[in-house]
Structure 1
Amino acid sequence: MNYNIPEDLKGLTETEVATSRKKYGYNRLDAVKKESWVDLLVNILKEPMLILLICVSFIYVLTADYGEALFMFAAIVGVTAISFYQDNRSKKALEELEKLNEPLSKVIRDSKIIEIPTFEIAVGDLCITEEGKLINADGRIVHSNDFSVNESSLTGESFSVFKDSKSEDNKVYGGTITVSGLAVFEVENIGKETKVGRIGQSILGIKTEASPLQIQIRNFVKGMAVVGVIIFLAVCIFSFVKTGDFVTSLLSGLTLAMSVLPEEIPVAFTTFMALGAWKLMREGIIIKRSSIVETLGSVSVICTDKTGTITENSMQLKHLYDYRSDRIYEEAEFGTTALHELIDYSMWSSEPVPFDPMEITLHKIYEQTRKPDQRKDYQLFHEYPLEGKPPMMTHLFENEQKNRIIAAKGAPEAIISVSSLSEEEKNKIRKLIKDFGEQGYRVLGVARSQFEGNDFPDKQQDFKFDFLGLTVFYDPPKKGIKEVFKHIYDAGIQVKVITGDNADTTKAIALQAGIENNAPAINGSEITTSSEEDLLKLSEKATLFTRMFPEAKLEVVKALKKQGHVVAMLGDGVNDGPALKAAHIGVAMGNKGTEIAKSAAALVITNDDLDKLVAGIAAGRRIYANIKKAVQYIISIHIPIILTVSLPLFLGWVFPHIFTPVHVIFLELVMGPTCSIVYENEPMEKNAMQRPPRALTDTFLSWRELMVSIIQGLVITAGILWIYQYSADLGNDEFKTRSLVFSTLIFANILLSLVNRSFYYSIFDSFKNRNFLLAGISVLVLVLLFVILYVKPVSGFFSVKALSIKELGMTLIVAVISVLWFEVYKLVKRHLGRK
């Protein structure tokens, strides 16, 4: 892009950048401390499970049971390694996200305009800021073109301020937003030394609010920890009273405490969220916080802009209506002499350095049809920015001979209302605008004015304008957009179109794009004048919201949230900032999105493809479903471990310590990777995007789901305790009984991980969704089981005996019966669902 920047602005050389950086450092608030691998390790060693393992290890050392102690230390290393691998993977994924979220800034260095990461801005750099960009350092304006800035983040004043190098206040400040035009500023302060840096140091201490799911999981784990402490004390006291052996009683209590603690759940949650965000990042969906992944699956309403989101944002100029000749001209006729004035004033009313696609088109048409090019002869000396409801803008240019051009363009209704037209003429033009709108065209009105002296009116609407005509653009819907909306509707999600365009154009484009609409369009002014009760009804019933401005957009988002909807708001402009921030998920477009939209949004779609949001919602649903599967698996498998450890002791059975800490920790080592690595890798079920979204307030496990998991666990327990009693009745010793019980539990664990891949589809349907990690870990667990049973030194260490083929087959049959009954439950569920 040609910025028309003076040649004397050369910027810093590489040597000067290095010198500046050595003196002033990087442009970042470096109070944010990065977690090192040592921090990760220390955090892992604080985990309750590790503390219990360390306690058990020391008890074994004190009782000179060095073999058991060595195994426990090996288990500590194993659990730490798995946790470290998971945490490190999550940390790396989040670091990758941070890198992508780092905004780029334009600077002049060595006379070249380049883009650099914002943290690399050095004191003395010449930074370029333009419309919609966030200013990333404090500095002094050295060159500007029609530049205005919104400093509300510092001053609280919402209006924009025009500044240039000669202004009394010619400074710009980091954290403020460029509203119009362009400025080059020399950087004076960076990082903590900026105005916003000095104000905002306290912000760094604010912790991110936990999501509903995080809170629910934390409370569940805390509850289980309390239960673990109570059971630990009960077992210790009961066993000591019965046996008088303090060490054995303490080990029994610790064994049970280990079996109760579901420490895999928080690990699984963190892993699922971080890796989910990382996988989405690879698909071009950048997520600011990994917990957003959870919210994505609950989206029930998508509020989308029209231009550039539903449409291509190509803005082809299809027609020009010239008021004086009262004629509509086609593309081939744009060189006609009668159109010169309309084309001239359309261009003059645009920004001198255009950013908007329509303005870029108008500049191109001017270049192609008007000779000589007078743009260099005239300087913009006064401007009224885009404002009003509906909006318009006015530019005042002057050349050296003091000849003036006063050009205005904007929403046709706005231009008609300020033009000297009779009511009959206005109605005639309104009819034309409606006809164009019904064909899906975007229409702008153009007008001119004359004014002597410099005592300009406060409002542009106070000029006396002559109406010149209409510019008629066509922005076609994107290819494949109908399919995208079909997927959204299939997922039970509503679509609301929130646009600054008029009702007729919006209706036509919505129809072409496949948006379901059976209610009249609502105008922005209706939103602001409605009562709260009416607004709630309007926001629920209406699909198309037209002639919208920032306050109206914000009100619609708030109203939808009050109705209990989880709202995703798509936006790309400065004016979308408040609504993006207010929505549950603000979604900005990576290509055409302004910097302020991207910073306000929680999610950025790098290639502006709405289908990516659908992919994000699908990923959110997959991850949430997989977390539930992991948690239900953990609950179901913990129940037989807890009851097999405790019931023989409390009921005074022949072998009260059927499981020792060695057996429990082996099972924990099997369960950890299954729930947090294997289930994270589980593909999405085929009906996930045909279900309505879940409410964000839903608990991660309903009582019904919790009961299903408890019943699964109790049935497995019944099978294991039956084989215990069967073995005892046969007269088998403790080692043989332990082998049978332990093998049954391992088989049941593997089968449960397969069955719980879906709580609706059969195990055979689930096999179609390939998960190589699940197959790999299942085979590894079976190999380890056979090593424990049949390799003598290992079987002696685990206090088990080798099983015959018949005995092994029996344990497998008991495991199959105690787990696969659930397939019958799913069959009935599917049958009733079809009915």
Structure 2
Amino acid sequence: MIIDDFEIKGLTSTEVEKAREKFGKNLLDYKKESGFWFALKSLVQEPMIILLSVAASIYFISGSIGDGLFLSFAIVFEAAISLYQDSRSRNALEKLKEFSEPNCKVIRDGEQIEIKSEDLVVGDSLIVEEGTAIPADGFIVHSNDFSVNESILTGESLAVIKDVAPENNQIFKGTHVASGLALATITHIGNASKLGKIGKSIESIQEEKTPLELQINNFVKKMVIIGTIVFLIVWLINYLNSKAILDSLLKALTLAMSIIPEEIPVAFTTFMALGAWRLMKMGIVVKQMKTVETLGSATVICTDKTGTITENKMTLAKLFVLSTQKIIDLKEEVLSEEEKELIQQAMWASEPIPFDPMEIALHKAYENFTTHDERVNFKLVHEYPLAGKPPMMTHVFENKEGKRIIATKGAAEAIMRASDVNPQQKIAIEEAIKTMTQDGYRVLAVAIANFEGEDYPQHQEDFNFELKGIVAFYDPPKKNIQQVLEKFYDAGIAVKIVTGDNAATTAAIAKQIGFKGYEKSITGDELMQLSEEELEKSVIENQVFSRMFPEAKLKIINALKAQNEIVAMTGDGVNDGPALKAAHIGIAMGKKGTEIAKEAASLILLEDDLSKMVDAVAMGRRIYTNLKKAIQYIISIHIPIILTVFIPLALAWVYPNIFSPVHIIFLELIMGPTCSIIYENEPLEKNLMNQKPRPMTTSFFSWKELATSIIQGLFITVGTLFTYQYAVQNGYDEAVTRTMIFTVLITANIFLTLINRSFYYSIITTSGYKNNLVLIIISITITIMAALLFIPFLTKFFDFEPLSFNQLIISILIGFTSVIWFEGVKWYKRRKTLAV
């Protein structure tokens, strides 16, 4: 049967426009706080902005108008950068929302089309099928084995049967189709829907912070607390020495500013949001920010077979008719009447409006091999949905004359149990199945039954079925799948096939594509019998999991997680939902994936292409590595600023207050763009996808990495303090000393940026990395520094002094030396790796 048989033409284009004008778009539109104003409100609460505001106020009160104006400008500049980064992040996330906007099928102008759910209008004829989310309220005009999960509205998790009966024909927005298919007329959309009326609570739902985000926020909070304590100590020391409250406060604020690493949260948000945006441009929609964090850690990928490893282009390829016990190739042989009858019986065992690829193939084969299409004359009068382990399904059709067709199809094991099959027939069937599955064919058994009366059996297995034969489908492997598997293996990621298909078919396809461990398999029933200890051993040893059902899939995921594996799981059906939700990275298919699968997943592959998952893992590793580089850079460069401000004061050196808030904020303005722009744009390091996945450590800031950053920072501190003492020993005044130290810091900052582009490869290698922003940002930094040194107005404003050629060269060399030593450490790492 086809849509035309129901004589539903749907709305015309004119009627759609009128309905949209009258009722609007199908959106839940609630009042939400403006993103800009929310960002602005958050900004004024930032510790650095507060410190800058206080410092600027003190300058104005004490009469230093120039310094006050500069800090005011710095506040505006800092705010502009933060708002720009926030805007980029929000825009990236908004684009992600657009990409993940669900579609729906409608009949308009007599044709079935696919539209965005928000474009649905009142009066539309909607088609909903298993696995989809219902996008609006309406009433059913036709249904096949249709049931809906309404837990979002009722809290009841069991599916509710729906049909055309007036008391049972309502469907509601936000619920999910658990089984079957229905045609419905839309009555309410958007806020007028039942969900819309009770959905005010949606406004109050806040997105939870991820573990990494919490770790970073806690780190920054600790630094703020330390900064506050040090601020009070320094204020007290200065006040006791000078008795000047405002001057003491200003000097204490200088140190507090140097301690707070406010660039870190900005870098985190920017990296994650822009990373998700980059993934979207590659055809990978990330629904949750935590997925970006986890991608680079994936150790196991559990992948479906159909449509992921194979093309999901089902064609009916072979037949086995039990009466003749011959295997027929549809491409090579002319079909007998018995063989055509088997195709007809398999078609009658399918949904009248097919949506499963195998059922579509059966309807198509029926059209090709029948001379008289009987589908328009028969009506579905009773059905038994796909059920059992392994599953089968049964349909009962009847025409106006009372002729009845009862047909079933499903796994051969299930159909044989429900049929009268003698031992010889069973052997013949099993031999035929073995022959076909060894070549990678997917097989279904087909049977028919006779039944008089209207009191149908409660269970489909209670019919007295006569097994007629086997239909075999071929779904070829994707052309690129072998290369995809090799890339996963190179990256240290184990791949496991988890499928509902039988072991022989799966093993045959796996062997064709060079899948490692294709001979090690276990079925869902066998898996469920294992003890907890045996299960954990089995999920590691076995690579192919066949005849899987939802409970078995979930068990696999949980058993792998229990052994500290980071699990990615691909899926597309309703029965994949629990496992997708449980996996660290649930991956739904964008084209063939059901809405339930997409909702449960944390990531959607728009093109159903597993090779994109390789790209996603690479991007995850790149984002995480670059974020680490940025944060390590921030820590390294903050240490010399803090100690250069604090040590001369604490030890009562000749120039105790070498830097003022003006100098600190200038350094902050240089460091912010460096970490969040340069490092975010860094390409994937060439060895990153040949490394094992990084362990999911409890802390983002491991001691080894922190130690590296601290040591780098201390070496730069040695350089600045050596410069300080060198200047004093040579009788230079405070302005020259300050200028030389500042030059050392800027030089160290530039070379630290270049050196920390990789903690393994040399600066010569990384200079070949494609990142145009490196040259741009460093050129801007050098230009500004030159302006401070050689433009008299700026030199005077910053309390600098023009340096002689020797002073300038010495400062640059000290800055360079204080960071270039790390190239020796990297050389040792490379040599050690090659020696292994």
Partners of 1:330 and 1:15 in 2: how far apart?
A: 50
- Could you give the per-residue CA deviations for residues 29-56 of structure 1, whole angstroms, max 9, x where no partner exists? 3336253323322322221111111111
- Tell me the equivalent position of 1:498: 498
Find the residue that maps to 1:741 and give its secondary structure.
helix
Partners of 1:466 and 1:736 in 2: how far apart?
A: 100
- Amino acid aligned to 1:439: D
- Tell me the equivalent position of 2:595: 595
Find the residue that maps to 2:81 and give its secondary structure.
helix
The offset of 1:292, in angstroms, is 1.6
Deviates more, 1:160-169 or 1:680-689: 160-169
The offset of 1:198, in angstroms, is 5.2
Partners of 2:543 and 2:220 in 1: how far apart?
A: 42
Partners of 1:339 and 1:19 in 2: how far apart?
A: 51
- Tell me the equivalent position of 1:63: 62
- Tell me the equivalent position of 1:297: 296
CA contact (8 A) 2:382 2:397 kept: yes
Partners of 2:74 and 2:741 in 1: how far apart?
A: 22
Partners of 1:784 and 1:247 in 2: how far apart?
A: 30
- Could you give the per-residue CA deviations for residues 534-553 of structure 1, whole angstroms, max 9, x where no partner exists? 22222222211110111111
- Tell me the equivalent position of 1:98: 97
Alpha carbons of structure 1 residues 16 and 506: separation in structure 2 relative to 1, 3 Å: closer
The offset of 1:153, in angstroms, is 4.6
CA contact (8 A) 2:131 2:574 kept: yes
Deviates more, 1:794-803 or 1:806-815: 806-815
Equivalent positions of 1:347-496 (< 5 A) are: 347-496=347-496
CA contact (8 A) 2:126 2:184 kept: yes
Deviates more, 1:63-72 or 1:802-811: 802-811
Partners of 1:133 and 1:98 in 2: how far apart?
A: 18
The offset of 1:204, in angstroms, is 4.6
Tell me the percent identity: 52
Partners of 1:549 and 1:199 in 2: how far apart?
A: 35
Find the residue that maps to 2:317 and give its secondary structure.
strand
The offset of 1:307, in angstroms, is 0.4
CA contact (8 A) 1:94 1:290 kept: no
Alpha carbons of structure 1 residues 127 and 280: separation in structure 2 relative to 1, 3 Å: same
- Tell me the equivalent position of 1:281: 280
CA contact (8 A) 1:212 1:697 kept: no
For the aligned residues, what is the CA RMSD?
A: 2.0
Partners of 1:114 and 1:387 in 2: how far apart?
A: 30
- Amino acid aligned to 1:413: E
- Tell me the equivalent position of 2:577: 577
The offset of 1:696, in angstroms, is 2.5
Find the residue that maps to 1:376 and give its secondary structure.
helix
Find the residue that maps to 2:167 and give its secondary structure.
coil
Equivalent positions of 1:296-375 (< 5 A) are: 296-331=295-330, 332-375=332-375
- Tell me the equivalent position of 1:135: 134
The offset of 1:382, in angstroms, is 0.8
- Could you give the per-residue CA deviations for residues 90-149 of structure 1, whole angstroms, max 9, x where no partner exists? 010011011111112233455554433323434443322123221122221123345343
The offset of 1:400, in angstroms, is 0.9
Deviates more, 1:795-804 or 1:550-559: 550-559
Equivalent positions of 1:659-670 (< 5 A) are: 659-670=659-670
Equivalent positions of 1:685-834 (< 5 A) are: 685-834=685-834
Alpha carbons of structure 1 residues 109 and 271: separation in structure 2 relative to 1, 3 Å: same
- Amino acid aligned to 2:583: A
Find the residue that maps to 1:286 and give its secondary structure.
strand
- Amino acid aligned to 2:795: S
The offset of 1:182, in angstroms, is 3.0
- Tell me the equivalent position of 1:623: 623
Deviates more, 1:679-688 or 1:503-512: 503-512
CA contact (8 A) 1:174 1:194 kept: yes
The offset of 1:564, in angstroms, is 1.4
Partners of 1:448 and 1:157 in 2: how far apart?
A: 36
- Amino acid aligned to 1:550: P
Find the residue that maps to 2:4 and give its secondary structure.
coil
Q: Does 1:526 align with 2:526?
A: yes
Alpha carbons of structure 1 residues 153 and 84: separation in structure 2 relative to 1, 3 Å: closer
Find the residue that maps to 1:4 and give its secondary structure.
helix
CA contact (8 A) 2:632 2:709 kept: yes
Alpha carbons of structure 1 residues 279 and 150: separation in structure 2 relative to 1, 3 Å: same
Alpha carbons of structure 1 residues 322 and 488: separation in structure 2 relative to 1, 3 Å: same
- Tell me the equivalent position of 2:644: 644
Structure 2 spans left out of the alignment, 5+ residues: none
Partners of 1:113 and 1:360 in 2: how far apart?
A: 16
- Tell me the equivalent position of 1:218: 217
- Could you give the per-residue CA deviations for residues 719-738 of structure 1, whole angstroms, max 9, x where no partner exists? 11101110111101111111
Find the residue that maps to 1:799 and give its secondary structure.
coil
Q: Does 1:48 align with 2:47?
A: yes
CA contact (8 A) 1:446 1:469 kept: yes
Q: Does 1:188 align with 2:169?
A: no
Partners of 1:15 and 1:568 in 2: how far apart?
A: 45
- Amino acid aligned to 1:207: Q
Partners of 2:814 and 2:653 in 1: how far apart?
A: 21
CA contact (8 A) 1:438 1:508 kept: yes
- Tell me the equivalent position of 2:241: 242
Alpha carbons of structure 1 residues 14 and 816: separation in structure 2 relative to 1, 3 Å: same
- Amino acid aligned to 2:167: E
- Could you give the per-residue CA deviations for residues 145-175 of structure 1, whole angstroms, max 9, x where no partner exists? 4534344555566665543323531111223
Alpha carbons of structure 1 residues 647 and 26: separation in structure 2 relative to 1, 3 Å: same
Partners of 2:701 and 2:153 in 1: how far apart?
A: 44
Partners of 1:38 and 1:324 in 2: how far apart?
A: 76
Q: Does 1:259 align with 2:263?
A: no
Partners of 1:113 and 1:506 in 2: how far apart?
A: 35
- Tell me the equivalent position of 1:542: 542
CA contact (8 A) 1:140 1:172 kept: yes
Find the residue that maps to 2:289 and give its secondary structure.
coil
Find the residue that maps to 1:105 and give its secondary structure.
strand
The offset of 1:704, in angstroms, is 1.0
Partners of 1:180 and 1:799 in 2: how far apart?
A: 76
CA contact (8 A) 2:343 2:362 kept: yes
- Amino acid aligned to 1:718: V
Partners of 1:565 and 1:572 in 2: how far apart?
A: 22
CA contact (8 A) 1:130 1:182 kept: yes
CA contact (8 A) 1:5 1:143 kept: no
Find the residue that maps to 2:375 and give its secondary structure.
coil
Alpha carbons of structure 1 residues 381 and 412: separation in structure 2 relative to 1, 3 Å: same
- Tell me the equivalent position of 2:204: 205
Partners of 1:128 and 1:518 in 2: how far apart?
A: 40
Find the residue that maps to 1:405 and give its secondary structure.
strand
The offset of 1:27, in angstroms, is 3.2
Partners of 1:335 and 1:518 in 2: how far apart?
A: 35
- Could you give the per-residue CA deviations for residues 640-662 of structure 1, whole angstroms, max 9, x where no partner exists? 00011111111111111111111
- Amino acid aligned to 2:400: E
Alpha carbons of structure 1 residues 201 and 554: separation in structure 2 relative to 1, 3 Å: farther
The offset of 1:12, in angstroms, is 7.0
- Amino acid aligned to 2:86: D
Deviates more, 1:124-133 or 1:474-483: 124-133
Alpha carbons of structure 1 residues 109 and 480: separation in structure 2 relative to 1, 3 Å: closer
Alpha carbons of structure 1 residues 493 and 816: separation in structure 2 relative to 1, 3 Å: same
Deviates more, 1:444-453 or 1:196-205: 196-205
The offset of 1:817, in angstroms, is 1.1
Partners of 1:805 and 1:320 in 2: how far apart?
A: 90
Deviates more, 1:509-518 or 1:630-639: 509-518
CA contact (8 A) 1:21 1:122 kept: no
- Could you give the per-residue CA deviations for residues 464-492 of structure 1, whole angstroms, max 9, x where no partner exists? 11111111122121102111011111111
